[in-house]
Structures are given as structure tokens and as C-alpha cells.
A and B are shown apart, each in its own frame.
Chain A
Amino acid sequence: MWKFIVRRLLMMIPQLFILSVLVFMMAKAMPGDALGGREIDPRANPDVIEAQREKMGLNDPWHEQYIRWVSNVSKGDWGVSYTHKVQVTDVIEDRIWNTVNLALLTLIFTYLIAIPLGLISGRYSDSWIDKVITGYTYIGFATPMFIFAIIMLFVFGFSLDLFPTGGSVNPTVEEGTFAYVLSKINHMILPAFSTAIVSTTVIIQYLRNEVIDNKMKDFVRTAKAKGVPETNIYTHHVLRNSFLPIAAFLGYEITGLVGGAVIIETIFNYPGIGQLFLSSVHARDFSVVTAVVMMTGFATLLGTLLSDIILSIVDPRIRID
């Protein structure tokens, strides 16, 4: 197993390299750069700007700039955020836990909804309850997430005033107290639930199909022939086998969440990585954008690796070495 992980991690190096080149070029190709109007007074003498650019190495050939950037990054120096005027790592550190917590809660909601609904829908396929659940998944499929999120925000946030409509914590509570934790969770519930209620539909459908597939399998018939009662057949045989692909999905789900964070955090005005990304793009905050993209890229690769590892743990037929 460790051999597999090491091999996969090694394989990530060229992948990350290609990603970094792409990110770097893309950032460079963005109209204007961070110096375009911020660091220096726009009315300043163009010669002064030019001198400044020269000094910062922004006129060097791109590959020299790239190498400089990479060597800095490998030392943990992602540069300074032009908008926040602090180290990029500090900006990200402020936000990342918000995003990770939100992602975790979203995952928990997603599976809490998907597992019972998928199983019921699969076990009692073609019954009225299955039709209701499948109907819901179709709606979830067809509706873009942001519409759902905005409706949720409007209803539960503004109209009913049950949940906060922005931020990640009530600024009046003291850090480290229990109330602080509660407030954090309270701020996450609405965005997490809004994401989960949509993203879960894919998993419900997946699980439903798996259950339907598995309940027709020969080994289920064998279990019946052993005298295993129907309910136990589901809990002992169908369930575990149906979870296989779902478990594998977990890794990809994480990838999806990272992408979804941009929309959700913006709508709920939640200070996480996604929101940071969007605002940095607006501000042409080159160093933050590249750092976030690289991080997400890395998370995606880790997510796929995680999927493979989980799969190999739950499925004895898959051996990775």
C-alpha cells in the first residue's frame, strides 16, 4: 500500500509542475498586473513605474520569473498579497479553516441525506416512496446550486431569520468559548445544507442504482437460500456492497466541494477560500490567485488518491501495491 501511495505522490510532481506552469502563464496573461494601478500612484511618471517593474523583475523573460517564483514557493514563500498587504500564507491561513470546516459539515449533511434515501429508494424500487425520492433527485439535478442557495438564504436567513446571513462567526463572542464554537457551526449550517441538498442527489441516485443492482446479484440469492431474513440481507450483504462506489466517490466529492465553495461562500458572504479567490481575481491579486489554484489542484489530486485508497480498503478484490 505505501508503495502505491509513494508512487502516486511521485506522479503528482509532474502534474503539479504542469499545473504551476499553466497557472503562472494564466496569471501573467491576465490583463494588467498587480502593479497596474495599486502599488504606485496612477499619475506617477511612467518612467517611475517602469523602473519599479524593472526592479521587481517583472520585465524579465517569463521563465526566469517562473523559476524565481517556484524557488520562493518551495521555500514556503508565496509572496505578498497586493490587496491585503500581508504574506499570502497569512491571508490563506485566516480563511482555510473556515472552508475546511464548511466542507466537512457539507459532507456530513450530504451523506446523512443520501444514505437513508438511497437505500430506501433502492430497496423499495418502483414503490411510491421511491418515486418521491427519485423525483427529488431530478429536481436537484435540474436546479443550479446557486438558485437553491439563494432561496435558502432568503427563506431561512432573511425571512425567518433562523440563521445568520453572513460571516463565519458572531464577532461579539469570545474565541475559545463554547458559544464561539456554536456560533461557528450556526454560521455554517445554512451554506452547508444548501450545498448538501443539491450535491446529495447524485449520490442518492448512485446508491439507489447500486442497491437495485446488488439485490439481484447471485450472492444475495445465496444468502436467501441460507435462510437469512430479508432485512438482514440488506444490512449484511446489499449495504456494504452498495457503499463501494459511494466510498470511492468521497474523494471526488471533496474536489467538487472546493469548486462549489466559490459560489456558496460568495452567496453566503462566508469568509473562506472560495470567496477569497473570487475577490482576488477581481483585484488581480496575482500571488493569492496562484496560491489558491495550486492548493485546489493539490487537493484535487489528493482527493483522487484518497478515493483509490478507500476503494482498496473496502474492496478486497482491489489490491494496490
Chain B
Amino acid sequence: MTLLKVEDIKVYFPIRGGLFHTVVDHVRAVDGVSFELQKGETYGLVGESGSGKSTTGKAIVKLHQVTAGTITFQGKDLTYLSRGEMKPFRKDIQMIFQDPYSSLNPKKRVLDIIAEPIRNFERVSVTEERKIVQQYLERVGLNPDSIYKYPHEFSGGQRQRIGIARSLTLKPKLIIADEPVSALDVSVQAQVLNFLQDLQKEFQLTYLFVGHDLGVIRHMCDRIGVMYRGRLVEEGTSQDIYKNPQHIYTKRLMAAVPDLSPDARGQKIGLRKQVAEEYKQLYSTFFDENGRAYDLKPISATHKVALP
């Protein structure tokens, strides 16, 4: 079942200039992106920084207004809903942010942080609220007695879990995780990733997982979209993307991933040189005259590549 359908969305940010600060141009942060999320799956968006991954995620939760395109959630078009009309859906779609250090308000207690969405959307008594918060704290592996603590009293991984607990309280259907482990050490990263997988099973969650670490994306995602300059250049299953990359950009990305076996080293450097060469030569085949990637074309049942 299709849970979320994003069709040809564009998010342009104005660039101002000139004598009267008028809009002289736009940053095409997201420039025509389409994908679908099936219920229960994890869809990964990868790409280098600035490729528009976060903007795409934020557009879905309406933190950015889309310039064009449609976003359909459970068959309902959300694109142009007002804040009020959006309310029932805001419960269903939650976002987790990258930086566990700055995304939690340092002046608020854990209780208030986690209860905030409940307070916005539901009416529950104070004791009931506390019970819910404690229950979720326990669920994310934190001591339920820590509700009166402040974020600075927790480590990075714990803070990220507080953020996750907050996003879970409204029993969302879709979670958009924007680089949830990028700021964490490997050991803590492992903890959060495992935990996200457990939650997915338990609550039948669907994830849109944004990341730039290809190891993490591979580990987490069923299907993957590769973004470059605001466009998708390739989409497919994990297998398609990692074993059979077709777009030169995807190939370059894959060649850049460090290999854990030192024996592959020489070969890896050679591969990177070759791919870089190929990239130069085939650039005009894979990008149009404006340097824009073409629209995705299916090359198999699951695999799509941006080809002319």
C-alpha cells in the first residue's frame, strides 16, 4: 500500500539582490523530485550535502512550502492544506533531526520536551501525560525517572533517543529521520540504528531515512534514492544501487566509500581514478546542457535511472 507519494516537487528559495532587495534568482534546492513510500518500508535518500535531502524531508512535514508538485499522504493531497487542515496529518508524520545537541530546547525538562506534541494535539490529564512520557522513555531505553532532568544531563545517543521518544508519542505512521546518527560515534550510532529497526517492527513504522553515510543507508533501507543537485539521479532497491549502479554520479559515490579490507586499497584508488575519468567524459551524456539530471527512466521493475 502506498503511504506517501511525492510527485515532481520543487522547493525554490529566493535569492535577493539589487537596489531594492528584490528576488533576482532562486536556489533550486529541490527541483522536481518524485518517489513513493510503501507502508512499512524504509526509503533512503542519499547524496552529498547541499543536494536537497533535508529540504525534501522538511517539505513533506511542511516546514518548507513547496513551489510546485504534490504530496499525497494516504491518498489525500496535503500540498496546499492550511495549518488547520493539516493538523490531523501532522500527528501521522513526524521528523527526527540530525543534531541531538541543538534540536532539544536546553531550558525544558525531558517531561516537557516529550509531552509537547501530546499537549498540542491531545487533551490528557497531567498524571496521564506523565505516565505516557515515562512509558515512552522506558521504551527508548532511558530511565523513566529522568523526566525532570534537562537535555544537557544526557549523552548524545540518549538525547537522540529523547528526540525519538518525542516523535513517537503521537503514534505516527511515517517518520522522517534526517541524518539521525550523523553526529554520533559508531558505538552510539549502532545503538540508535538497532533501536530504530526495533521500533519499526513494533509500531509498523514507515521511514524516510535521509543520510550521507552509504554504510548506514545500506544497513537501514529497502529502497534508495540518490540525490544530486536537487534531483534524483537513480532509484532502486539496495541491491540495484550497491551492486549495479548505473548513473555516473552513483558510481562515483560508491567508489568513494571506504572499503574495510586493506587489500582492496590499490584497486580502490584505481577504480576511483577510472570513475572520475568516466565522469568527465560522460558528463554530457548524463546531464543536460544546464547540468541538470534527466528524468528517471525505469530500466527494470525496481530500478530507475536518470537518462536522456
Contact = CB atoms under 8 A, between A and B. Distances in A.
The answer to A–B direct touch (Cβ < 8 A) is yes
Interface of A: 3, 6-7, 321
What size tier do the contact residues of chain B reach?
under 10
A321 B17 CA distance: 7
A7 B20 contact: yes
- Main secondary structure on B side of the interface with A: loop
Nearest to A2: B19
B24 to A, nearest CB: 11
B172 to A, nearest CB: 40
A244 to B, nearest CB: 24
Nearest to A321: B17
Interface in B12-54: 17-21
A3 B19 CA distance: 5
Contacts, number: 7
Of B18, B19, B20, B21, chain A has the most CB atoms within 10 Å of the CB of B19
Contacts of B20: 7
Interface of B: 17-21
A176 to B, nearest CB: 46
Closest A-B pairs by Cβ, 6 of them: A3-B19, A7-B19, A321-B17, A6-B19, A7-B20, A3-B18
A6 B18 CA distance: 11
Contacts of B17: 321
Nearest to B19: A3
B81 to A, nearest CB: 37
A6 B19 CA distance: 8
A30 to B, nearest CB: 39
Contacts of A7: 19-21
7 contacts: A3-B18, A3-B19, A6-B19, A7-B19, A7-B20, A7-B21, A321-B17
B61 to A, nearest CB: 32
A6 B21 CA distance: 12
B136 to A, nearest CB: 39
A3 B18 CA distance: 7
Contacts of B21: 7
A3 B20 CA distance: 9
B16 to A, nearest CB: 10
A80 B19 CA distance: 39
Nearest to A6: B19
Nearest to B16: A321
B25 to A, nearest CB: 14
Nearest to B21: A7
Contacts of A321: 17
A59 to B, nearest CB: 42
Contacts of A6: 19
B174 to A, nearest CB: 39
Nearest to A3: B19
A321 B18 CA distance: 7
A6 B20 CA distance: 10
B21 to A, nearest CB: 7
A6 to B, nearest CB: 6
B33 to A, nearest CB: 31
Nearest to B18: A3
A7 B22 CA distance: 12
A321 B19 CA distance: 8
A79 B19 CA distance: 36
B60 to A, nearest CB: 33
A224 B20 CA distance: 45
B135 to A, nearest CB: 44
